[in-house]
Structure 1
Amino acid sequence: MEYDIIGFGEERSAMNYSSFGDWLVAYRDPYDYWKSHPTYAICELNFLIGASLMLAHAFVTGGRWPWLFFASMTHGFVIELISYFAPFIENFWHAQGIITFFDRRMALYIAILYPMFYYHASWTVSKMKLKSQLVEHMAVGLMTVLVDMPYDIIGPKFVHWIWHDTDPNIYDRHYWVPWNSYYFHLCFSASFHFWFHSVRRWTEKRKDLDKWQAGTLKSEIMSLVCASFLGMPTGCLFFVAVYHPLHDFYNVPSEVTAISILLIFTAVVWKFDRKCNRYEKPAKMNFMSKVLFGHFIVHYMVYLGTAIFFNPEDVVSVGMHQPIGNCNETEPVHTILKTLERQKYLCVENYDEMYYDFHCLPNGITPSDGSIWYTVCGMPFENRAEYITVLSLITFIAYMVNVSIHFDYDKNVDKMWKKMKLSKKFN
């Protein structure tokens, strides 16, 4: 079958650029984009719309919310650029978006992925009125994972990106999602939230400010810089504390370490939520808040709808992927505690990434050794009903959690709280 897709079947062993601008940014024909990778286009559109709504919400709300948006964006740039260009960290390759930056590695929507995840999570957790700031950071981590899960499950299945085939840190998977991806989002978002609020509190002279009231320009800039650059190394400490000792020395699967830390965070947050300061009826949402909550629902429906209505075997992804080469050549994977090992190249004769193959290429011939830019083809669902069931469950849980936090309250407690405030006012 012939595909009328720009670059279909093309192989490159090196990326040759005409200028720095060519290396920095690339544009893709929208029609070709939709024809070869419609689910990726929908995913990218979802993020662009969501980020636009969050930015509008941030400026309408004021205070520190715009700072949160831009701090999480710069934090995302730091993480992504290190992940692309540090040899022993590089273990994933994004598909080509409508606009792709930095050596064809970062699709446009990745620039606003972190703001979308962190903003939704922080906004929701701010309504929980937890008494412990430390526990609030943990709650943001949990909410970030909840926002991430449908995106992470659909992404590889529809070849929105591909993972390194033999990297030991991402080898254990759940619907082709490395368990450490959830671990990563949990810990890095909690770490970011810690630095974003702590540095402002430490450097702001006015100690009576609410945590979401804007401080001086100096304190806010320091908060942005520290959260952006320290969120990643602090997040890595969570891996050093739990994952690396158990996984690297005792061969405990990353499934166990990821579920363990998720349950620990959940148990702590649940305990403190029982004694929170959420006594009154939640404040009435303004128009922008209602729109933002609506997008939260849309976010989940996008990925559930993708599983229902689209076929992953129709996907054709032309772009930068794991380099192909000698099946026997290995390279070190350095961690703080131990040096591990992985295959340096993708071995097309023997690989375990059953969400893509090369069936759409003429005669199914695999790309040549040395290729770093080539075409991959999506593969059918092993069980579409299973994906729909899992994504429906995640959507239901996310809906119940967020409706409970944003809207639910005990009317009797609310009445008692109002009486107590009136009593204090007149006594």
Structure 2
Amino acid sequence: MEYLLDRYFFHNLPFEVTPETRKAVGQRALTLIQWADWLCKYESPVKIFQNNPYFVLLEVVFLFLCLLTFLHAFRHGGRYLYVWIGITVFAFNIECLSVSIPELNVSWHAQGVLSFFGMRVPLYALFGIHQTFGYIAYVLVSRMRLPWWAEGPGVGVSSVMLLFPYRILGTKLLWWTWHDTDPALNDRVFWTPWGLFYFYAASMCSFVWILHLLRRILLERDYDWMKFPREFLCSFFAGVLSFWLGSVQFSLLYCPLHDLFRFLSSRFWFDELSCAVALEYLFLGVLVIVAEPLNIVSEGLHQPIGPCNEMEEVRTPNLVLRREKYLCATIYDEKYFDFHCIPSGIPKQQVDGSGGLLPLEYYPVCGTAFDNRAEYITVIW
């Protein structure tokens, strides 16, 4: 960095710069580059395609679905566009909080061509997933003319219906990995946590309720384009607050059953949204038939590998639970991946200065074959 600044910047200035100033500028430039590298990281699409071609297809398909939802919102205009903006705010909010709050840090996305926030969030997670599931569910349910109190749960259930096959197949194809021992993830279907679906439904329900409440307070019933600042504020705060109200619903309704009682855990139209729904189900339906997860390699950030049986506390509104802090590479309960594609058997940790082993966050995991492909096909289709 210092050489580049000296050669291409300081050398061309019409005045001399002291060594101390050059060093200070170099440090600030290095800090800026580190922040930029944390904010957005590029990975070669060729490398990703060689390791996991289905993930590259996933990114392309969901970015296209996001474009379809935006075109629908833009074409209809009015409050549709503000809802799309609110869903996008929700996407940034939930993805950022999921990697910044330790109790929510329970999943690790596969590395995309562009990944954000310390290589934790691929582009399609910000512009793809939530627009496809949340926005489409909102539009479909809003056309049913349900009362406001029923529209929220309707959107929540509809979004989960769209989300379900994506989550089931995505886990098997290593589009992400889950924390191995988190108590909230114990109850699973095809290695996908049940609680995830309820939390997403609660968040989408909260988004609709907050949006209706804010519009009732700040706006009239009929849309008025001249009040676009208020429209934007309603959508923005719905996107920000829905995660927290969804967490309250999750804590009051799901956590007591799971933590305390151990309970298991009208006419057809063709437009951008019907096309998006058809493409999503067609993509996942074909993929579950042709995909070979045994050949997949997902290299990137995963649950850190470290000492076995080192525990940490996870606080919920009802209990303080315990989980293993690190993934034990020799004893773990995740049948959707293993380390068979690594020549040494398991990823090797680096030795620190004192002779101990450092936790390993960036390593490859290998897909496993379908135990029963017909069962997956039945669930997805």
TM-score bin (small chain):
0.7 to 0.9
3-state SS in 2 of match to 1:322 = strand
Question: Quick check: 2:148–2:212 contact (8 Å CA) kept in 1?
Answer: no
Gaps of 5+ in 1: 1-15, 255-277, 393-427
**How much does 1:217 deviate?**
1.8
- Is 1:239 the counterpart of 2:239 in the alignment? no
Structure 1 residue 42 displacement after superposition? 1.2
The alignment status of 1:346 with 2:346, answered yes or no, reads no
Whole-Å Cα distance in 2 between the matches of residues 161 and 199 of structure 1? 35
Aligned residue in 2 for 1:326: 307
Paired residues, number: 342
TM-score, structure 2 normalization:
0.86
Residue 290 of structure 1: aligned partner: 271
Distance 1:126 1:116 in 2: 16
Q: Does 1:121 align with 2:137?
A: yes
Give the structure 1 partner of residue 54 of structure 2. 39
CA apart distance, 1:326: 1.1
Secondary structure (helix, strand or coil) at the match of 1:345 reads coil
User: 2:187–2:264: 8 Å Cα contact kept in structure 1?
Assistant: yes
User: SS of 2:102's equivalent?
Assistant: coil
Task: Give the 3-state SS of the residue equivalent to 1:348 in structure 2.
Answer: coil
* DSSP-derived class of the 1:19 partner: helix
Within 2, Cα distance between the matches of 1:68 and 1:378? 37
Distance in 1 separating the partners of 2:176 and 2:107 = 7
Amino acid at match of 1:23: W
CA contact (8 A) 1:330 1:342 kept: yes
Structure 1 contact 360–377 (Cα < 8 Å) conserved: yes
Does the CA contact (< 8 Å) of 2:85 and 2:236 recur in 1? Answer: no
**Equivalent residues in 2 for 1:189-338, closer than 5 Å:** 189-204=204-219, 206-207=220-221, 209=222, 216-254=227-265, 282=267, 285=269, 290-338=271-319
Q: Is the 8 A contact 2:41 2:119 kept in 1?
A: yes
Of stretches 132-141 and 292-301 in structure 1, the one that deviates more from structure 2 is: 292-301
Q: Are the equivalent residues in 2 in contact too, given 1:70–1:115 (CA < 8 A)?
A: no
Distance 1:355 1:367, change over 3 A: farther
- 1:377 paired to 2:358: no
Q: Give 5+ residue unaligned stretches, structure 2.
A: 1-30, 350-356
CA change 1:201–1:306 in 2 (3 A) is same
Distance 1:244 1:292 in 2: 34
AA of the residue aligned to 2:333: D
Paired residue secondary structure (2:366) = strand
Query: How big is the shift at 1:201?
Result: 2.0
CA distance in 1, matches of 2:114, 2:236: 26
Report the aligned-residue RMSD.
1.8
**How big is each residue's C-alpha offset from its partner over 1:337-396, in whole Å with a ceiling of 9 and x where there is no partner?**
22111000001111111111110011423442511000110010010111011111xxxx
The separation in 2 between residues aligned to 1:111 and 1:327, in whole angstroms, is: 34
In 2, Cα distance between the equivalents of 1:299 and 1:367? 38
Partner of 2:360, secondary structure, is: coil
Contact persistence 1:200–1:222 (CA under 8 A): no
CA displacement, residues 2-38 of structure 1 (integer Å, 9 cap, x when unaligned): xxxxxxxxxxxxxx99521111111121222211111
3-state SS of paired residue (1:253): coil
Once residues 367 and 107 of structure 1 are traced to their aligned partners in structure 2, the CA distance between those partners, rounded to angstroms, is 26
Could you report, residue by residue, the CA deviation over 1:215-274 in whole angstroms, capped at 9, with x for unpaired residues?
Answer: 7123212212221221011101212222222222222231xxxxxxxxxxxxxxxxxxxx
Structure 1 residue identity aligned to 2:363: Y
Q: Hey, what's the Cα distance between the residues in 2 that align with 1:17 and 1:320?
A: 23
Structure 2 equivalent of residue 12 of structure 1: none
- Displacement after TM superposition at 1:290 (Å): 2.2
Aligned partner (choices 19, 22, 29) of residue 44 of structure 2: 29
3-state secondary structure, aligned to 2:37? helix
In 2 relative to 1, CA 202–25 (structure 1 residues): closer, same or farther, beyond 3 Å?
A: same
Decide whether aligned partners of structure 1 residues 17 and 183 sit closer, same or farther in structure 2, where only a CA change above 3 A counts. farther
Map of 1:270 onto structure 2: none
1:109 lines up with 2:90 in the alignment: no
Distance 2:32 2:43 in 1: 16
Paired residues of 1:138 and 1:190 also in contact (CA < 8 A): yes
Identity %: 37
